[in-house]
Amino acid sequence: MILDLKDVFLQDGSRKNFEYSFSMSDTEIGGVYPFVSPVMVKGEATNKAGLVDITFDVSFNYRRPCDRCTEEVERSLNYQLVHRLAVSLQGDENDDYIEVPDYTLDIDELIATDIILDLPVKFLCSEECKGICSTCGKSLNGGDCGCSKVEVDPRLEELKKLLN
């Protein structure tokens, strides 16, 4: 969605509210397409002394396998995002502001980038997730798999035969 902010920039103290949704279902992360619902956006742009602060409340459903046990997990995630906008910036680079020289902003691209950067690096079904057995591959969350916990170095396997 392209947001026209000219009225907000030109009048000190003005506000503009907006609410809409957009899809990120075609976004691939780690080999899966985890965005299973549209991203719901509620936002407000506010002029404060010639600079515009834009705030977003975003919510969406996110589903992907647990990084330890590979069980599918779906969660509702909510983020609050804030950016400061300026019509022009002086100097080379300023990461505190987003420049909008024509008073318009593509908020889909901005929100999608913020969401991807804010997603958890490790996605777990629970903090207590025990993962999977390295021998048989069974999930250890449901209990012990019964595999032997004693691992013998393969180089010493021949010596073990001498003891038997």
pLDDT by residue for the chain (164 residues), tens only, comes to 999 999 998 888 899 999 999 999 999 998 899 999 999 999 999 998 878 999 999 999 999 999 999 999 999 999 999 999 988 877 656 678 888 889 999 999 999 999 999 998 899 999 999 999 888 888 889 888 888 777 777 777 777 777 76
Same domain, yes or no, for 125 and 140?
no
| The pLDDT value given to residue 151 | 72
Residues 88 and 49 in one domain: yes
Per-residue pLDDT, 92: 59
- Say whether both 68 and 145 belong to one domain: no
- What angle is formed at CA 141 by the lines to CA 136 and CA 145, rounded to 5 degrees? 35
State whether 120 and 144 are in the same domain.
Answer: no
Identify whether residues 84 and 146 lie together within a single domain. no
pLDDT at 160: 72
Q: How many domains does the chain divide into?
A: 2
pLDDT at 136: 86
Quote the pLDDT of residue 75: 94
pLDDT of residue 148: 76
Same domain assignment for residues 70 and 12 = yes
Please tell me whether residues 27 and 98 are part of one structural domain.
Answer: yes
Q: Do residue 29 and residue 99 come from a single domain? A: yes
Residues 6+ apart with CB under 8 A from 61: 35, 36, 37, 74, 75, 76, 77
**What is the structure's pLDDT at 19?**
96
Confidence (pLDDT) at 163: 74
Instruction: Looking at the structure, tell me whether residues 62 and 108 fall in a common domain.
Output: yes
Q: What is the pLDDT of residue 93?
A: 66
Predicted model pTM? 0.80
| One domain for residues 62 and 136 | no
Closest by CA to 135, choosing from 143, 146, 147, is 147
**Domain extent for 139:** 132-164
Q: Quick one: how far is CA 131 from the chain centroid?
A: 22
Residue where the block lists tokens 């503009």? 16
Within this chain, do residues 124 and 143 fall inside the same structural domain, yes or no?
no
Same domain for 147 and 80? no
